[in-house]
Amino acid sequence: MYYAGPMATASYRSDPEVDRALAYLQQRTGRSRSAITRDAILAAERTARRAALRAEAEALRDDVADAAEARRLAAEMAAVNAW
């Protein structure tokens, strides 16, 4: 992956489990700790965004008033369908 421009430096507190995981990923992929960490953060963000969208969609699916309004609009549009 190519990054344009300067990058900020971030630090974190690691533990032996994370150190082992990073070492494993470095060995398997040949990538740097920084690249692996960046990818993990971006993957976590994508996962969180998807979970939020899923929760929003499920809330809309379970919204009785919204479902009734959707059915009413569908019936209204079917009634004025010129074809």
Mean pLDDT of 52-63: 94
Cα(43)–Cα(52) distance, integer angstroms: 14
What pTM value is reported for the model? 0.69
Domain of 21, in residue numbers: 16-79
What total of structural domains would you count in the chain? 1
Specify the residue for token string 């993957």.
Answer: 43
pLDDT in tens, 72-83: 999 999 888 766
Residue 47 maps to a domain: yes
Residue 9 maps to a domain: no
> Is residue 5 scored above 80 in pLDDT?
no
Residue 59 maps to a domain: yes
Residue from 14, 34, 17, 16 nearest 26 by CA: 34
Mean pLDDT of 66-70: 92
Give me the pLDDT at residue 82, please.
63
Mean pLDDT of 58-82: 90
